[in-house]
Amino acid sequence: MKQLLFFMLSVFSIGFLCGQNQRMAINGKVQDAANDNPMSNVHIINVNSVKGVISDRNGNFEISAEVNDTLYFSFIGYKSLKATVTNDWLNYGNINIKLTKVGIALEELVISSHGLTGFLDVDAHNIPVFESRLRYAIPGLEVTYEGDDAATKINRALTNILNPINPLASLFNKKKNQLKKLRKIKKDEEIRNLLQDKFDRETLTTLLQLDKVDIDQILRKCNYSKSFIKTANDLQILDAISECYEEHKVLSR
C-alpha cells in the first residue's frame, strides 16, 4: 500500500513539474497608464520563444509563454516595458499592462543657404554632394560589402576573409548564443513589422541580448558605412547582421 501511494505521489509530482514547463496561453490587456484607455496595435514579444503578437482594438492580446519567460511590450511614443511571466499569470491570466508616454525632445533645425545665383554652371559647384554608399559583390564569393571606394572595399573584404586572426570570427564566436536567434527573429512577421518602424536599437538589444556597442561593432567589422549604421531602421540592421553572420558561417567552413 505504501509503495502504491509513493508511486502515485511520484507520478503526480512529475506531472506537476512537467506542467510547470509547458507553454500556455496568457491573456491580457494593454492600457495607457495616464487614463486607462485600451491601446491597440501594441507589439508584445516573447523574448525567449521569439514570437510576437499585437493587441486588438480593445487592447486585448493572447500570447504563448511559460514561467520565467520575458515579455516585451512596445508602442511608438511610449516607454517599452519588460515583464517576467509568473505562475499567477499562467494560473489566472487576464493581466493588465500599463504603458507610459515618453517625452520626445525635437532637435533644433538649422536652415542654411547655399547662395544659389540662378546660373547653372556656378550653382552646380556650390551644391554639396553626398556620397552614395552602395553595397557591392566580389566575383566568386557569395558575400557583399559596403565601404568607400571600390579599391578600398575590395582590400577590406579580402583582408577580413583571408586574415588568419579574423576579428569578425572572434566577435561572432563570442556572441554565438545570442546570434542563434537571428533566423527566428527574421521569420516572425509581427517582430519584423515592429522593427521596421524603430530606429533606437532597443528592441534589437532586448531580443538578441546584445549591447548597442556590440551591434555597432558587428556592423563596422562587416564593412557597413557609418552612414548606414546611423540612418538604418532596426529591421535593416537586423537583416544586415543576419546576412553578414550567414556569410561568415559559409566562408568559415
Task: Decide if 116 is inside a domain.
Answer: no
Q: Which amino acid is at 145?
A: Y
In a shared domain, residues 236 and 143: yes
In a shared domain, residues 144 and 79: no
Mode of pairing for the β-strands spanning 135-137 and 24-32: unpaired
242 touches 182 (CB < 8 A): yes
The number of CA neighbours under 13 Å toward the Cβ of 122 is 6
Q: In what order do the strands lie in the sheet with 60-65?
A: 60-65, 24-32, 95-99
- Greater confidence (160 vs 168) lies with 168
Task: Decide if 63 is inside a domain.
Answer: yes
Task: Decide if 219 is inside a domain.
Answer: yes
- The total number of residues shown for the chain amounts to 253
- Domain total for the chain? 2
- Contact residues for 251 (Cβ-Cβ < 8 A; gap 6+): 141, 143, 161
What DSSP string runs through 214-237?
HHHHHHHHTT--HHHHHH--HHHH
In a shared domain, residues 134 and 247: yes
In a shared domain, residues 32 and 71: yes
In a shared domain, residues 173 and 244: yes
Among 38-42, 143-147, 232-236, the range of highest mean pLDDT: 38-42
Distance between CA atoms of residues 97 and 232, nearest Å: 30
Residues 119-159: tens digit of each pLDDT: 566 555 555 554 444 454 434 444 444 544 445 544 555 55
117 touches 123 (CB < 8 A): yes
In a shared domain, residues 167 and 236: yes
- Greater confidence (250 vs 193) lies with 193
Task: Decide if 110 is inside a domain.
Answer: no
Query: In CATH, what number is assigned to the domain containing residue 34?
Result: 2.60.40.1120
In a shared domain, residues 233 and 143: yes
In a shared domain, residues 85 and 21: yes
| Domain region containing 227 | 130-251
In a shared domain, residues 70 and 135: no
Question: Under DSSP, is residue 17 helix (H, G, I), strand (E, B) or coil?
Answer: helix
What DSSP character marks residue 106? P
